[in-house]
Amino acid sequence: MIISIHTQATSEERAQLMTLLCRITGSQRPITTTMMTEREVIALDGTIIDAQAQTAINEQSAVDSIHTLKTPYQLASRLFQATSTSITIGTTHDCEPVTIGGTASPVIMSGPCAVESREQLISTARAVKEAGAQVLRGGAFKPRTSPYQFQGLGIEGLHMLSEAREVTGLPVISEVMEPDMVDTVAQHVDILQVGARNMQNYPLLMSVGRHARKLPVLLKRGLSSTIDEWLLAAEYIIAAGNPNVILCERGIRSYDPMTRNVLDLTCIPLLHELTHLPVIADPSHSTGRRELVPVMSRAAIAAEADGLIIETHIDPDRALCDGRQSITPAQLEKIVHETRLLTQLMKGDV
């Protein structure tokens, strides 16, 4: 059940509502309120609210309305919020902020799959900035299929990402894999990435949702997740208090090993109907082949993606992780240029 709070509610009226909700739910914990684009809301576990309690909640002067949508997800739904969410990235560190979603032009995030060394990261960061990318990516904690593959530099890698932001002014995105590591990773990044393998790691989703500064979260689609499962994962983050969720289509598993995954382009316009959250595409992990990255980048922009996340390496053939799908800075520059042209075309400016 979703409770929308009156914009003019006083602190006494709110406190009264909270006391009632804690009594009804039997919760000792404070109830989470979330500031959405259009209103402030409280999401409650519906199984414990009977009709009498519902009436008591409705009678509270702080309450504007209460309702439950027919869709399994609520706060993530376009039916709940008609206005597209736009999220400004890079407001908590010293860098050049960039807005994603809504009417903003597509945002290009790029960098190596993994931070491998200070030299590799700083030179790639400079090159992707030069190529026109607006956000630097780089994995410090890597979820690898084999325990014998390079696992990332961990905290050392996070410090290098902070340095790369200082050098280039680009906001930074990196993956967090454990609920207890959210605060540590958040000290160094501007977007917390939840990877495909962790899309349904509910303690992690709640942990990024509860993050005090509500740092934007890039939520990648699970390896074989349905759109409903994906939006429910986003719902976990929003219901826990953080509405700044960006969805990322990174390809889904199929039977054919010819490509690493199948980029589900259909989900982009579909998600724009179902949800107000920004949606970006990852042409690198979806294809697994660098020669397919430029064309699938164009296709995703044509399908109205709010941005792209692309793996770029200064020396792709020597990358410690995902070199086969990594492009060079020169190839990235071309994609940035084509994205601008396509965007102008789609806005009717040419």
What does the binding site for ligand PEP look like in residue numbers (CB under 6 A)?
113, 139, 143, 195-197, 220, 250, 285
Rg (CA), the chain: 21
Query: How many other C-beta atoms are found inside a 10 Å radius of the C-beta of residue 307?
Result: 28
Quote the least distance from Cβ 87 to ligand PEP, whole Å. 19
Quote the least distance from Cβ 327 to Mn ion, whole Å. 12
The residue at minimum Cβ distance from ligand PEP is 195
Angle between helices 118-131 and 329-346 (to 10 degrees): 30
Reported as type and span, the H/E element at residue 166 is helix 155-168
Quote the least distance from Cβ 325 to ligand PEP, whole Å. 10
CA 197 to chain centre: 14
CA 13 to chain centre: 34
Rule CB under 5 A: is residue 113 a binding residue for Mn ion? yes
Quote the least distance from Cβ 42 to ligand PEP, whole Å. 31
Among 264, 282, 306, 322, binds Mn ion (CB under 5 A): 322
**Short-list 214, 215, 216, 245, CA closest to 232:** 245
Rule CB under 5 A: is residue 116 a binding residue for Mn ion? no
Quick one: 101 or 195, whose CB is closer to ligand PEP? 195
User: CA 112, CA 136: separation in Å to the nearest integer?
Assistant: 9
Quick one: 131 or 177, whose CB is closer to ligand PEP? 177
Quick one: 243 or 316, whose CB is closer to Mn ion? 316
Q: With contacts defined by CB under 5 A, name the span among 29-37, 108-116, 208-216, 258-266 that binds Mn ion.
A: 108-116
195 binds, among Mn ion, ligand PEP, none (CB under 5 to 8 A by kind): ligand PEP
Quick one: 113 or 301, whose CB is closer to ligand PEP? 113
Please, how many CA atoms are within 13 Å of residue 8, restricted to the half-sphere of its CB? 1
Quote the least distance from Cβ 139 to ligand PEP, whole Å. 5
The residue whose two tokens read 């790691």 is: 201
Tokens found for residue 28:
């000792």
User: CA 323, CA 288: separation in Å to the nearest integer?
Assistant: 9
User: CA 176, CA 192: separation in Å to the nearest integer?
Assistant: 6
Quick one: 3 or 321, whose CB is closer to ligand PEP? 321
**Short-list 321, 330, 326, 289, CA closest to 309:** 326
Quote the least distance from Cβ 285 to ligand PEP, whole Å. 4
Residue ranges binding Mn ion (CB under 5 A): 113, 322
